[in-house]
A and B are shown apart, each in its own frame.
With several copies, the nearest count.
Chain A
Amino acid sequence: MKHMTRKATRHINQNEGLIFEKSSPGKAAWKLPPLDVPEVDTAKLLGKSERKDLGHMPEVSEIEIIRHFTRLSTWNYAIDLGMYPLGSCTMKYNPRVNESVSRIEGLANGHPYQPAKISQGAMRIMKTLSDCLIEITGMDAITLQPAAGAHGELTGLLMVRAFHESKGNARKKILIPDSAHGTNPATAATVGYAVENLKSNDRGMVDVAALAAQMNEDIAALMVTNPNTLGVFEQEIHKIADLMHEKGGLLYMDGANMNALVGKVRPGDFGVDVMHLNLHKTFSTPHGGGGPGSGPVAIKKILEPFLPTPVVVTKSDGTMAFDYNRPQSVGRVRAFYGNFGMFIRALAYIFANGPDGLRQTTEDAVLNANYIRKGLEGVYDLPYETPSMHEVVFSDKIQSKKGVKTMDLAKRLIDYGFHPYTTAFPLIVPGALMIEPTESEPKEELDLFIEAMKSMAEEVEEDPQFVLDAPHNTRISRLDETLAARKPVLRWTPEKV
């Protein structure tokens, strides 16, 4: 342990094996009520379809399960423990009231097929959230069905495609800036579009001249992220929109960075035709170690006929219903209605904030990013000097001269008690350090972060090898990812005796 900041200290932590290693025949954590109907002869009922053995499934007791997962949990970092500045991920506070209301019995136990008469509560939640999100984005209509951002992209591009098809030509390509997230091109491919790369200019923004040159009637849409993945607002966004529209193309916005805009700027006002939101980013639903998310897609009027089915509608008697009768719909993108549990949480977040809170949230997010930028300017290389919104992207240019790369710095940052920033994205910045603090960080935590980042930079000068060997303070040292990929071990198997 070389430098040590005021942020963290080492402490004793429990080891824990795999659950299978704790299993022993006869232990059990379950108990069923007595059967109140006649027992059945499973062999007779199922014949050769009867399963005889469940293999290596574990047999453990309840206390062991509590300990197993409690111990495991202590090996994780989390927002609840401190700043989690993963760029593009918007790791903001996940309010506990969201968790609480999502577990209210009639909502948690609602069956997706229960009669409309006893589904009014759920539909009202969906409708209210839809209305709020439409207002926030400045769009005209929305679907809540997609399960995550990438799924939203898929849904959005399906609507783009359906729109063009309705005009007689599906078109061939999607334009995607080189700074875009990997899901953008991957999604375009899934919808059967070819991807055409759009180079960023030296300010890290869409090169409008290049766009004008590239745009033609083969191009179905441009997928732009705004603010883009550098945290930079596309100042010529309306020009971009106009260029697209002139040639009959549509403007898709990846809304991953809406946390920079809510209550301050509305994509619908600056020319966007279709966009997705990430409720698990901007609207505070928890990331849960990788999901679930929710990726509603908001659209302009022209795309409304193509919304996935069903759509929640208010009937003339004021009750709500699902409308399945939408002949131009792109179809379903998943079973049922989407990640409903996330709708509850996002709506609770909006209620807790109100218009004033939402605006203040955005302001604080931008304030925090700029404070970090100011604090680290000069210490780390800033590849684009364009003003930052809610995140700032540095590079490891200075440190890599000593052989220390962004990933090495990230590992060392763990020793300081911080989750690292996003590494190796956006691709236009070699060795990127993509830092998004969100509004949830107090000044105190930001100061500790800046202190840690500076201290690390000094360490690189003094003893680069020490940084390369990081992390030093974790229960496990740096893991061999190459080994993992070369000889994949993707499940436990009992040792041969």
Chain B
Amino acid sequence: MRYLPKSPADRDAMLKAIGVRSIDDLFSPVPAEYRLARDLKVPRQMAESEIVDWFKQRSKENGDDYTSFLGAGAYFHYRPVVIDALVQRGEFLTSYTPYQAEFAQGTLQAIFEFQTMISELTGMDLANASMYDGSTGAAEAVMMAVRITGKSSAVIARSLHPEYREVLQTYATHQGIPLKTVAYADSGRIDLKELEGTFTDDTACVLIQSPNFFGTIEDVEAIAEIAHKKGALLIVSIAEAVSLGIVEPPRAADIVAMEAQSFGVPLGFGGPYCGVLATKDKFVRQMPGRLAGQTLDKNGKRGFVLTLATREQHIRREKATSNICTNQALVALMVNIFMTVYGKVGLRELAKQNLAKTAYAADQFGKNAKVLFGGAPRFNEFVAQTSEDPAAINSRLLGHKIVGGLPLKKFYPELGNAALWCCTELTTRSIIDTAVGLVAESERSVRSMKETEEVAL
């Protein structure tokens, strides 16, 4: 096997040194009846060229030449090539969690910079080193709020990503955290009235998303005011990180639970992504996940270490703030590099392009279909309602190598023939125009069908 650095002679010499006759002697602790006497039924050993061919084949079956209008928690942005050039350096790629700080200063300083930039962007005091993803991060944030407030229930917006809601549901059930869901208003924003009425004395937090699942930007301050008045914390989930370039961050929130995939992480069919939590200084000891902190060496030189480990499972076991151990470090490094590439000015310009493309698309769609939630600002997604089932329109778009917006029937049946469309800086005007053209055609044919029907009556 080509990964194994031993010759038969090496193995023999080692067995001899150990003082056993054969490798089987070393497996004698395993009761004979459990030793596998046959080959595993997995594919035979393949040449590297065969492996590459196999996956190229899978790639071809996976729509490698389509343009897409999908967003909904996973965004297609341009990834500067320096990201992969750097994260593939063996020193980053093949190192472990930086437990031995003196031999891992590269990873540690990078985490420290990541924490700084996430804090800066989210408007929080500090951020952790990463969580699995936006959905689990949001669930952990709710559990954190429960620990901080000593209260036990949570309120969540229905405009929070439906899969995030499902994950939260899974986590909350066995933590004994009752969840209440608050509907969205006609503006697409959370229904503030309903929200106010939902709080009880036991409400630890309200969890919203902004821009929310529909792309609508919430009025975070207003929500914060309500939550704080009721003694609850506000958690804001951010699924589209690029929005932070042009959308005011949720400074009034207590915890920000972010999915940073948009910042340089490949779509990768859903993962690995990069969750991260940011919060206020005062809550740091209830924060789950790893934290890098600055310190000094014996000679007074600045250096970085993992710190406040007493929050974590390897020290506190069942009393830890979370069971998380392995996180998404290398993905966080991608995010880090992306943020560094775009920086203070670039992130704003990037977000502006997203805004402009989406505004244009929503405008064009609006001429043919019904674009919902016009009453509040949006970032790079919008919901369009068509006369025809969007799945049907999408299958025609597929013929043009275009993946249309996400049909919402599954998640929001009340919205009827609605779909969630997303445009980023990579969505060209011509592809928007093509998609709009096909939607317009659909509307026309439905209309003419209706007319025919009417005539027939």
What's the minimum C-beta distance from A274 to chain B, rounded to whole angstroms? 16
What's the minimum C-beta distance from A288 to chain B, rounded to whole angstroms? 3
Of the candidate stretches B130-138, B149-157, B226-234, B449-457, the one touching chain A is B130-138
Q: Are A111 and B135 in contact (CB under 8 A)?
A: no
What's the minimum C-beta distance from A230 to chain B, rounded to whole angstroms? 12
Nearest CB in chain A to that of B327: its residue: A291
User: Which of B68, B293, B325 contacts A489, CB < 8 Å?
Assistant: B293
Of the candidate stretches B83-91, B178-186, B196-204, B438-446, the one touching chain A is B83-91
Q: Are B271 and A18 in contact (CB under 8 A)?
A: no
A143 proximal to B (CB < 8 A): no
Of the candidate stretches A37-45, A207-215, A242-250, A452-460, the one touching chain B is A37-45
Give Cα distance in the complex from A359 to B23, angstroms. Answer: 11
Instruction: Output the residue of B103, B174, B344 with the most chain A CB within 10 A.
Output: B103
Find residues 330-370 in chain A having any chain B CB closer than 8 Å to their own CB.
330-342, 344, 348, 350-361, 363-364, 366-368, 370
B392 proximal to A (CB < 8 A): no
What's the minimum C-beta distance from A458 to chain B, rounded to whole angstroms? 21
Of the candidate stretches A87-95, A297-305, A397-405, the one touching chain B is A87-95
Check A335/B134 contact, CB under 8 A, given A30-B346, A78-B91, A80-B91: yes
Check A73/B91 contact, CB under 8 A, given A27-B6, A440-B5, A485-B308: yes
Q: Are B90 and A46 in contact (CB under 8 A)?
A: no
Check A57/B55 contact, CB under 8 A, given A31-B2, A136-B40: no
Counting contact residues on chain A (CB < 8 A from B), the size range is 35 or more
What's the minimum C-beta distance from B391 to chain A, rounded to whole angstroms? 9
Nearest CB in chain B to that of A489: its residue: B294
Q: Are A289 and B98 in contact (CB under 8 A)?
A: yes
Chain B residues with CB below 8 A from A114, complex form:
63, 66, 68, 70, 403
Of the candidate stretches B162-170, B365-373, B381-389, the one touching chain A is B162-170
User: Which of B31, B40, B73, B272 contacts A339, CB < 8 Å?
Assistant: B272
Chain A residues with CB below 8 A from B36, complex form:
263-266, 269
What's the minimum C-beta distance from B269 to chain A, rounded to whole angstroms? 4
Q: Are B325 and A76 in contact (CB under 8 A)?
A: no
Q: Are A147 and B4 in contact (CB under 8 A)?
A: no
Find residues 400-431 in chain B having any chain A CB closer than 8 Å to their own CB.
403, 406, 425, 428-430
B286 proximal to A (CB < 8 A): no
Check A238/B31 contact, CB under 8 A, given A32-B47, A114-B70, A338-B271: yes
A425 proximal to B (CB < 8 A): yes
Q: Are B42 and A136 in contact (CB under 8 A)?
A: yes
Chain B residues with CB below 8 A from A121, complex form:
57-62
Chain A residues with CB below 8 A from B93, complex form:
78, 80, 94, 99, 286, 288
Q: Are B113 and A109 in contact (CB under 8 A)?
A: no
Further 20 A-B residue pairs, CB within 8 A, beyond A29-B82, A353-B45: A18-B109, A29-B346, A64-B5, A69-B110, A72-B105, A78-B90, A86-B99, A106-B62, A119-B63, A120-B62, A122-B62, A294-B272, A336-B269, A340-B269, A340-B272, A358-B42, A374-B19, A480-B296, A491-B112, A492-B112
